[in-house]
A and B are shown apart, each in its own frame.
Chain A
Amino acid sequence: DGGITQSPKYLFRKEGQNVTLSCEQNLNHDAMYWYRQDPGQGLRLIYYSQIVNDFQKGDIAEGYSVSREKKESFPLTVTSAQKNPTAFYLCASSIDWGLPRYEQYFGPGTRLTVT
């Protein structure tokens, strides 16, 4: 079955530690995205990538880093510089052929708690 996997579902870290969230897709989509969701709010874009070895900052990129070495994978690192990292993180992918038509498919999310 095609889809997006994110692991782990729940992640706990101590303050000051970097942590990497995994995102893998087998949909053969070119574009991948990372969103952050805080309680009672919508999603906000952290980073996106439209092709391998290229990525761009979204609206709230400070304190995060990404890589896109393979089409299928787009890991997100939450660094110690992120002031409030506790949140729900969602990865998404889509076909991007220059039209707004294509929906984004989302993974199940990773709930990160930093204490």
Chain B
Amino acid sequence: AQKITQTQPGMFVQEKEAVTLDCTYDTSDQSYGLFWYKQPSSGEMIFLIYQGSYDEQNATEGRYSLNFQKARKSANLVISASQLGDSAMYFCAMREGRDSSYKLIFGSGTRLLVRP
């Protein structure tokens, strides 16, 4: 079974509007971390935001916020006031606490296109 599922292969949003990118995860660990990365067409992976499994508040970083619903195992990324530069691939990833490699497990990504 996939550990990270991103069900939206592609999304459009109008400039200046908000958009939500979906992510669901599967783990039996109590301690884990959830990450969102942005990958522009140039290829580098840019860290956006982190949510810990024990964090009581939803994480926020500027225009990015993470809607964390632990019981539903979802960690959706919300981008407010979209900008043309937000057009990119977005990946949700998880790091499990008991996995000694501390590797990131990635979803298949969502391509976001911001329309002017």
Question: Do they bind each other?
Answer: yes
A72 within 8 A of B: no
Report the count of interface residues on A (CB-CB < 8 A): 29
Report the count of interface residues on B (CB-CB < 8 A): 28
A63 within 8 A of B: no
Task: Given the known inter-chain contacts A100-B32, A103-B47, please indicate yes or no for A43 contacting B101, CB distance below 8 A.
Answer: no
In the complex, chain B residues whose CB is within 8 Å of the CB of A103:
35, 47, 50
The CA-CA distance from A87 to B75 in the complex, in Å, is: 29
CB of A28, distance to nearest CB on chain B (Å) = 17
B45 within 8 A of A: yes
Interface stretch of the complex, out of B65-73, B78-86, B90-98: B90-98
User: Contact between A58 and B101 (Cβ–Cβ < 8 Å)?
Assistant: yes
Would you give 16 A-B contacts (Cβ < 8 Å), ordered by A?
A33-B103, A40-B108, A42-B106, A42-B108, A43-B104, A45-B103, A56-B101, A92-B45, A94-B102, A96-B102, A100-B33, A100-B96, A100-B97, A104-B47, A106-B37, A109-B43
Instruction: Enumerate chain B interface residues (CB-CB to A < 8 A).
Output: 4, 31-33, 35, 37, 42-47, 50, 52-53, 91, 93, 95-97, 101-104, 106-109
